[in-house]
Amino acid sequence: MDLLRKLIEEKRQLMITSAKIWGINSEKTIQYSQELDLLINIAQSLGVIHSPDKIQ
């Protein structure tokens, strides 16, 4: 599960860098954002991370 967290952080950094260089509406930034969403959804479904609206 540490691998999944690492992948999420790497994708987040790619998205941030892309947004700084090409803007938040660039195809590349949007692609990274969608890939990040997918990774986060997988992590949430596996219980690796929790939704912010869930009370712990």
pLDDT tens-digit profile of 43-53? 999 988 876 66
For 14-41, what is each residue's pLDDT tens digit?
Answer: 999 999 999 999 999 999 999 999 999 9
For residues 36 and 6, is the Cβ–Cβ distance under 8 A?
no
Q: What is the pLDDT of residue 54?
A: 53
Other CB atoms within 10 Å distance of the CB of residue 20: 10
Beta-carbon contacts of residue 13 (< 8 Å; ≥ 6 apart):
none
CB 3 within 8 A of CB 46: no
- Cβ atoms of 18 and 32 within 8 Å: the answer is yes
pLDDT at 16: 99
